[in-house]
Structure 1
């Protein structure tokens, strides 16, 4: 980036950071779930309107897409920040802790939204230096559970038609403030939702031979299904199958006539994904039959794997090294088994997803924790980098 533009960027970023941090804290106080982020949408719209930034509301029901025009001939670029929270009860002592019981920005989307807002405000100030039109997406429902999630809804409604590259980020307490984590290719795994119901026959627990114990069948299945990981897939191909919820029976002295399981499967390999899902269904049916029960398997392919485009990843690394310093750009050795619906954009648009360091060296609380928080100095880093990507002349 040329010296004059770099100085203008720093000045513009400094000029919006108080508003960015205040906005983040307001979102943290008032977390909203899924597609019901209407209060958040209205707040974003109010700030954009006051700044004179054109935008659409009610995108994917309760999201916002802002447009920063340009007189340049470069192609259209998009920056994305998700805005929904999680059904988690906050246990921090923050002065701006969640005011809504059972809801919390435990995944850091309040920070993503604040960085997106700051980027829109800065790029609007530097509009004359933009090489091409830039869209800033404030996306609801990244976390689900309603499907399709927000990214696919944004795409299906045509809000990103004509976009040629897209960037998104996720806060990470595994990296220090000032660092970013990059990786070309596989970055995050696909996420399939599993629901398996076993139906047997209830009976008195003292006479188990007169019933079919659905709880026992479910336990046998949960144990057996791990052979899909240990014996039916290449040990060098990552795959995770986990069941986190089960409901069975109504009393301790009655064999369960029905048992229902909910879980997830994660992988990067589409062929392995296909074979593993088929094996899970077959194993459920065969385990049930072995004990005289029946099985019903429902599989929902929620999100695909996040696969970062080579060209845009190289651009991210180049811009980040110039802006943050060589040592601050961390090459991630392994992809994550976590899921992210940013894949809904990457299926159609070349782009890159990266991790933004938010740890101060003491705070290492993981995502989705009831005590999760970030060092707010990271917000400035995020705004600077997102804006630098948009201002880069190579588009």
Structure 2
């Protein structure tokens, strides 16, 4: 690093905090689900055009890309922010709460988008770099299947808007606001979905012996699934199998014909991922057979593991330490059982996915994401925008290329 050169500080963005809050609150009031982010995408595109970026819309259906080239630097960097909301009824009571019943920004994507817009404005105004900046505003991170990252990649994201490395961020409830968490290598789990349809034989509640009760079958499957991890995986292997949906029946005096279970499976190892899949399929069929029912299992591989590359992670850690100090940076965070479709981007380009604390000192004392009471911490807006700005300035610093050339 050239010590005489000044890079972005948090103080450079503090004056923009009121405007950033207004943008974030507007997005929060108008949440849009996966591939419905038309208003959000239009706002992003308008802001980027206003700042002087070359803007492309409709990337991966509703994604937006802003491109800014400064100087003759040969390097390029990509930064991604997600834009979609969740199908949750908001219960925050905030003055800027969702105006659309049943939809809310319960994961902080409104904040992620705003932080990147803040950096976009600062970088366009200061132009303290030489190279190409690609800003990827992505739809449908929450989709689970056929996600926005994959849609943008299929739409030629990295061929049309190339970058040498790609970076992304997610807020982290339970860590102090303005702190940063990193991990090189595997960081977040792979995530799969399992859909189980049980076919029994319906009947009258008073005559269960004449029916094949799919509720009983489903209950047996739920309990048996608890052994998939505890009795098939080594204790040191992180695996989660959660039954999130159990649907059956509409009346208390009727044994229904069928039942449906939906599962979420999280793993950190490809071999374990395949073993868990086979174990679940075998167990479901065995349980159904034992009651005289049948079952159909649709096992859908979802997001892969988030795997950060060492050099890009080390670089991002260095930038965070410069910005907020060593004490606010955790360079080797714990593995996280949550999942992220940014993993698909990391399969295409080297890069780093990091976490910014959303407030609190532990997960027990913080409102988690995907909760009706969750809200993104506005204190992070200038911090996140400053981090992205400094990262770009440092990554596309001509002195960095000169130093690398001199070392060869």
C-alpha separation between the residues in 1 aligned to 2:190 and 2:311? 22
3-state SS in 1 of match to 2:61? coil
- 8 Å contact from structure 2 (residues 174, 360) kept in 1: no
Which is bigger in relative contact order (C-alpha 8 A, separation at least 6)?
2
1:160 to 154, 158, 161: 158
What is aligned with 1:378? Answer: 380
Compute the displacement of 1:253 (Å): 2.0
> Do the aligned residues in 2 keep the contact of 1:16 with 1:121 (CA within 8 Å)?
no
For 2:250 and 2:377, the matched residues in 1 are separated by: 46
2:390 matched residue in structure 1: 388
- Alpha-carbon contact 1:82-1:139 (below 8 Å) kept: yes
- What residue ranges of structure 2 are gaps of 5+ in the alignment? 402-408
What residue in structure 1 maps to residue 404 of structure 2?
Answer: none
Q: Distance in 1 between matches of 2:291 and 2:303?
A: 34
Q: CA deviation at 1:178?
A: 2.4
Q: Measure the CA separation in 1 of the matches of 2:57 and 2:199.
A: 46
Give the distance between the partners of 1:179 and 1:308, measured in 2 at CA.
Answer: 19
Q: State the match for 1:138 in structure 2.
A: 137
Cα offset for 1:16?
Answer: 3.8
Deviations 1:144-187 (A, max 9, x none): 05x31001111111122232211111112211122101111121
Partner SS state of residue 84, structure 1:
coil
**Alpha-carbon deviations, 1:200-219, whole Å to 9, x = none?**
11122222221211111111
Counterpart of 2:149? 151
Deviates more, 1:323-332 or 1:16-25: 16-25
Give the distance between the partners of 1:249 and 1:385, measured in 2 at CA.
52
Whole-Å Cα distance in 2 between the matches of residues 300 and 111 of structure 1?
30
The range that moved more, 380-389 or 366-375, is 366-375
CA contact (8 A) 1:89 1:101 kept: yes
CA RMSD of aligned residues (A): 1.9
Q: CA deviation at 1:53?
A: 1.4
* Residues 12, 125 of structure 1: 8 Å contact kept: no
Indicate how the Cα distance of structure 1 residues 360 and 248 shifts in structure 2: closer, same or farther if over 3 A, else same.
closer
Q: Is the 8 A contact 2:285 2:295 kept in 1?
A: yes
State the secondary structure of the residue aligned to 2:300: strand
2:100 aligned partner: 100
TM-superposed CA distance for 1:5, in Å, is 4.7
1:332 and 1:206 mapped to 2: Cα distance? 59
2:267 matched residue in structure 1 = 267
Residue ranges of structure 1 left out of the alignment (5+ in a row): none
Alpha-carbon displacement from aligned partner over 1:251-293 (angstroms, at most 9, x marks no partner): 2222222111111100111110001001111111111111111
Once the two structures are TM-superposed, the CA of residue 246 in structure 1 deviates from its matched residue by 1.2
Q: CA deviation at 1:135?
A: 0.6
1:17 to partner: Cα distance: 3.4
Deviations for 1:348-381, whole angstroms, at most 9, x for unmatched residues? 1111111111216798211111111233121111
Say if 1:74 and 1:132, in contact at 8 Å, map to a contact too: yes
Give how far 1:41 is off. Answer: 0.8
Q: Where do 1:229-268 residues align within 5 Å?
A: 229-268=229-268
Match of 2:367 among 358, 365, 368: 365
Relative to structure 1, is the Cα distance of residues 69 and 15 closer, same or farther in structure 2, using a 3 angstrom cutoff? farther
Task: Determine the structure 2 residue equivalent to 1:214.
Answer: 214
Contact 1:86 1:104 in 2 (8 A): yes
> TM-score of the superposition, structure 1-length normalised?
0.95
The aligned residue for residue 328 of structure 2 is 328
Superposed CA deviations along residues 45-86 of structure 1, whole A, max 9, x for unmatched, are: 111122221111111211211001122334221011101111
Deviation at 1:39, TM superposition (A): 0.5
Once residues 293 and 274 of structure 2 are traced to their aligned partners in structure 1, the CA distance between those partners, rounded to angstroms, is: 26
Distance 2:72 2:281 in 1: 53
Instruction: Tell me how far 1:94 sits from its aligned partner.
Output: 1.9
Distance 1:334 1:64 in 2: 32
Could you tell which deviates more after superposition, 313-322 or 157-166? Answer: 157-166
Aligned to 1:279: 279
- Output aligned runs, 1:287-302, within 5 Å: 287-302=287-302
Aligned length: 393
**Which secondary structure state, in structure 1, belongs to the residue aligned with residue 373 of structure 2?**
coil
Is 1:80–1:166's contact at 8 Å kept on the other side of the alignment?
Answer: yes
Query: Aligned with 2:281: secondary structure?
Result: helix
- 1:171 aligns with 171
